[in-house]
């Protein structure tokens, strides 16, 4: 039994040695492959990452973008009480549709008064012409009197030199001539005044006279004010902030009442970081995806790039000359036209914008700077 047991133990030891040797051989053969894999995987990742970085940078993207549509503030140019209203919040209107009507009666009365004033002004010009004609007639009569008394004075002087007439008669003739001369001077002044009242032109057309022109302007202004009592939509669009507007309320001229959003004209304002604008130019193509329609990207084109960062146009610009200054990448607005969206767009909608600049990063040169490469 002992001999058999020792034989079995020896056999087991021999088998274990064989297995250990085979396992060591397998590990020895597996080690080069594992090492190669451990080196190849990071190398591949570096190569792929480098390629992606070098060929990247062509597409610049931002989620800081919003749809914009023209917003017109509706106000009345005339003051008064609203007697008729066709306004409804979120109501769709067309250009020229009547929005509301202000009580026109006071403005109609003002127009009638202006027309009456115009008629009176035209009559006044006729009276001025008559006055001028009378002044001319008096001027001629005064001139005739002066001519008569001057000739009479000459005759009396001749008679006086011959001793035929008395000195009293001569003095009376001189006095009459002086009176006639004064009357002529007064008549000349009357003619000048009458001519000035006619604008210096006795043949002036009635409606060309300054007084009549002023009356015409007042009439036209009254007529314009009457027309402004009917307020119409200036463009196609959707009414907003009009829920509280009702007939019967008083409105003041120039006061904001509600808004009209012109939904036929849309654009997107995207705020890119300043570092993204290196190769961005107007005319470049872009793709816009609205959060409302994530599966319907829209083609777009850059229209313009803002003149400055948003912080430059704030009411109180940031003062960077302080001890706690921290550099922050600024954003510059970029305007993009939306081409044939074919979907219901509303102002203020959020969007994601991706611009194709056509330029990738390229390989770094020997001085450590990156040379951009234009995409073919």
In a domain, 39, yes or no: no
Q: Which of 165, 197, 225 is the C-terminal boundary of a domain?
A: 225
- Say which residue the tokens 């951009």 belong to: 372
Residues 220 and 111 in one domain: yes
Token pair belonging to 80: 């008064």
User: Domain with 335 in it: what CATH number?
Assistant: 2.40.30.170
In a domain, 361, yes or no: yes
Residues 164 and 119 in one domain: yes
In a domain, 293, yes or no: yes
In a domain, 44, yes or no: no
Q: Which of 225, 243, 273 is the C-terminal boundary of a domain?
A: 225
Average pLDDT, the chain: 83
Residues 168 and 83 in one domain: no
pLDDT tens per residue, range 341-370? 678 889 999 999 999 988 876 655 444 444
Residues 219 and 246 in one domain: no
Distance CA 161, CA 156 (A): 8
Residue numbers of the domain that contains 143: 106-225
Residues 65 and 75 in one domain: no
Among 23-32, 224-233, 259-268, 342-351, the least confident range: 23-32
User: Domain with 91 in it: what CATH number?
Assistant: 2.40.50.100
- Residue 260 contacts residue 97 (beta carbons within 8 Å): no
Reported confidence tier of residue 116, pLDDT bands at 50, 70, 90 = very high
In a domain, 286, yes or no: yes
Residue 317 has pLDDT above 50, yes or no: yes
Residues 183 and 240 in one domain: no
In a domain, 194, yes or no: yes
Residue 163 has pLDDT above 80, yes or no: no
Highest mean pLDDT among 7-11, 117-121, 129-133: 117-121
In a domain, 20, yes or no: no
- Res 273: pLDDT: 92
Token pair belonging to 373: 């490469």
Residue 118 has pLDDT above 50, yes or no: yes
- Res 42: pLDDT: 77
Number of folded domains that form the chain: 3
pLDDT tens per residue, range 34-75? 666 666 777 777 766 665 555 556 889 999 999 999 999 999
Residues 137 and 219 in one domain: yes
- Residue 328 contacts residue 250 (beta carbons within 8 Å): no
Residues 169 and 189 in one domain: yes
Strand-pair partners of 273: 331
Q: Cα-atom radius of gyration of the chain, to the nearest Å?
A: 50
Residues 82 and 130 in one domain: no
Residues 256 and 273 in one domain: no
Q: What is the 3-state secondary structure (H, E, C) of the chain?
A: CHHHHHHHHHHHHHHHHHHHHHHHHHHHHHHHHHHHHHHHHHHHHHHHHHHHHHHCCCEEEEEEEEEECCEEEEECCCCEEEEEECCCCCCEECCCCEEEEECCHHHHHHHHHHHHHHHHHHHHHHHHHHHHHHHHHHHHHHHHHHHHHHHHHHHHHHHHHCCCCCHHHHHHHHHHHHHHHHHHHHHHHHHHHHHHHCCCCCCCCHHHCHHHHHHHHHHHHHHHHHHCCEEECCCCEEEECCCCCCCCCEECCCCEEEEEECCCCCEEEEEEEHHHCCCCCCCCEEEEEECCCCCCCEEEEEEEECCCCHHHHCCCCCCCCCCCCCCCCCEEEEEEEECCCCCCCCCCCEEEEEEECCEECCCECCCCCECCEECC
Q: Which of 203, 225, 247 is the C-terminal boundary of a domain?
A: 225
Residues 267 and 234 in one domain: no
Residues 217 and 268 in one domain: no
User: Domain with 128 in it: what CATH number?
Assistant: 1.20.120
In a domain, 1, yes or no: no
- Res 58: pLDDT: 84
Residue 25 has pLDDT above 60, yes or no: no
């Amino acid at each position: 039994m002992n001999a058999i047991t020792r034989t079995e133990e020896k056999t087991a030891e021999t088998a274990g040695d064989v297995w250990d040797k085979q396992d060591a051989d397998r590990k020895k053969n597996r080690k080069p492959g594992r090492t190669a894999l451990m080196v190849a995987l990071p190398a591949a990742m570096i190569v792929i990452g480098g390629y992606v970085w070098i060929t990247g940078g062509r597409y610049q993207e931002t989620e800081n973008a919003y749809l914009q549509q023209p917003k017109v503030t509706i106000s009345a140019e005339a003051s008064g009480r609203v007697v008729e209203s066709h306004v409804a919040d979120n109501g769709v209107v067309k250009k020229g549709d009547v929005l509301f009507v202000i009580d026109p009666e006071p403005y109609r009365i003002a127009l009638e008064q202006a027309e009456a004033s115009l008629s009176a002004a035209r009559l006044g010009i006729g009276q001025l012409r008559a006055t001028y004609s009378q002044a001319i007639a008096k001027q001629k009569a005064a001139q005739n009197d002066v001519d008569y008394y001057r000739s009479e004075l000459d005759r009396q002087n001749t008679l006086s030199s011959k001793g035929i007439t008395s000195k009293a008669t001569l003095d009376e003739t001189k006095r009459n001539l002086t009176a006639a001369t004064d009357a002529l001077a007064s008549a000349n002044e009357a003619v000048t005044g009458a001519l000035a009242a006619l604008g210096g032109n006795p043949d002036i057309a009635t409606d060309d006279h300054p007084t009549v022109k002023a009356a015409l302007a007042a009439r036209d202004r009254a007529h314009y004010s009457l027309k402004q009592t009917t307020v119409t939509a200036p463009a196609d669009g959707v009414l907003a902030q009009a829920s509280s507007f009702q007939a019967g309320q008083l409105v003041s001229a120039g006061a904001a009442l509600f808004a009209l959003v012109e939904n036929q004209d849309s654009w997107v304002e995207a705020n890119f970081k300043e570092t993204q604008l290196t190769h961005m130019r107007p005319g470049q193509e872009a793709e816009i995806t609205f959060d409302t329609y994530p599966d319907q990207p829209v083609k777009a084109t850059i229209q313009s790039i803002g003149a400055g960062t948003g912080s430059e146009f704030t009411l109180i610009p940031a003062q960077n000359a302080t001890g706690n200054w921290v550099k922050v990448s600024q954003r510059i607005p970029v305007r993009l036209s939306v081409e044939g969206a074919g979907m219901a767009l509303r102002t203020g909608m959020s969007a994601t914008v991706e611009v194709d600049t056509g330029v990738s990063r390229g390989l770094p040169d020997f001085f450590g700077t990156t040379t951009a490469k234009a995409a073919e």
